[in-house]
Amino acid sequence: MGSFLFNFFALLTVICAAGVVVNKNAVNAAMCFLLSLVGVAGLFVLLDAYLLSFVLLLVYAGAVVALFLFIVMLLNVQGSTRRPVRGFALAAAVLAAALLAVGVLTFAQRSALAGAAADVPAVGASLKLYAYQLFTTYLLPVQIIGFLLLISMLGVIVLSKKLTDREDAS
């Protein structure tokens, strides 16, 4: 049963992540992103990392995707027609695909040589360890990310504000 659930959540995550990239409509892409996050949360549950799963669903699925949808609706973003692929974009795509293939092959080779993963102790299921590292080691990066999210939210609000005629004259 565990193997079936892992395969299901992994397939759901990969298909929905591809849907985010391929969709022209921003609302459909956001919904695919939401389903991709649900798949990753399911994988975290299978790894017994319940806190990570809950935080992922609460913060990303609950806040970030909802904020993205509100911004898309507020700005009334429409899908555009695709431009033909130019030489530089094609070269960048080929390079990215080659790097991805090398990374996947390296990962597969190392995991085949590493042996059974059952011997590795489960790390990350303790809430005390998360809290200790969050409030000691990673406190500054968390604060910086929170500040950047606040600045980006304020920037979106300012950019999406519609100017009236009276504000244009001054």
> Based on the domain organization, do 46 and 92 belong to the same domain?
no
* Count of domains forming the chain: 3
> Based on the domain organization, do 21 and 54 belong to the same domain?
yes
DSSP class per residue in 99-143: HHHHHHHHHHHHHHHH--GGGSPP-S--HHHHHHHHHTTTHHHHH
> In the prediction, which pLDDT does 117 show?
53
Q: Which CATH number fits the domain that encloses residue 5?
A: 1.20.120.1200
- Buried b / exposed e across 124-143, counting CB within 10 Å, b at 16+? eeeeeebeeeeeeeeeeeee
Asked if residue 118 belongs to a domain, the reply is no
Structural domain range at position 91: 83-112
> In the prediction, which pLDDT does 114 show?
63
> Based on the domain organization, do 44 and 100 belong to the same domain?
no
Mean pLDDT by 10 residues, the chain (170 residues): 87 92 84 91 89 85 78 66 73 87 84 59 65 83 85 77 58
> Based on the domain organization, do 19 and 89 belong to the same domain?
no
> In the prediction, which pLDDT does 81 show?
64
Nearest partner of 54 among 63, 64, 45, 67, judged by Cα = 45
pTM over the 0.85 mark = no
> Based on the domain organization, do 95 and 53 belong to the same domain?
no
Residue 52 tokens read as 């990570």
> Based on the domain organization, do 77 and 87 belong to the same domain?
no
> Based on the domain organization, do 19 and 68 belong to the same domain?
yes
> In the prediction, which pLDDT does 50 show?
85
